[in-house]
Amino acid sequence: MSKNKLVGVDGQEIVHRMPKVKSVKPCASQVLIELLTVQEMLNTELIVENSKAPEFQGIILAFGPMVQPDVFGFKVGDRVQLSGAGVPVPNFDDGYRQKILMEPNSIKAVLG
């Protein structure tokens, strides 16, 4: 079994490993959100296989420098209701939850 190799124009193998992503810092008006699992949203330990849930929730982890949280009414650590699509980010902390970047107007409610 042969492995794929990255080869330069001179025919020599290029050995370069990208360093692991260690953190994600939102830029501009992005909000970093950790998504809750369906089981967490429903407060159950049952396995729920519904990957196309129309609504989803998350926990706010960080804001980009152009976001004014007090204007929007949320803060880091808030559990929020989301709508729309986000941009997935690498699993930088080896957690089991997916993390995404979203615009603040995709946050529809702060859940208490």
Task: Please report whether residue 18 resides in a domain.
Answer: no
SS3 46: coil
Task: Please report whether residue 78 resides in a domain.
Answer: yes
| 48 CB neighbour count, 10 Å cutoff | 13
Q: What does the pLDDT read at residue 1?
A: 42
Task: Please report whether residue 79 resides in a domain.
Answer: yes
Q: What does the pLDDT read at residue 54?
A: 54
Which residues span the domain enclosing 36? Answer: 31-111
Question: Total domain count for the chain?
Answer: 1
The C-alpha atoms of residue 65 and residue 102 are separated, in whole angstroms, by 14
Residue with tokens 């994600």: 24
Q: What does the pLDDT read at residue 3?
A: 66
Per-residue pLDDT tens digits of the chain, which is 112 residues long: 446 777 888 888 887 777 889 999 999 999 999 999 888 888 877 776 655 555 689 999 999 999 998 999 999 999 999 998 899 999 999 999 999 999 999 999 999 9
Q: What is the CATH number of the domain that holds 56?
A: 2.30.33.40
pTM of the model: 0.79
Task: Please report whether residue 49 resides in a domain.
Answer: yes
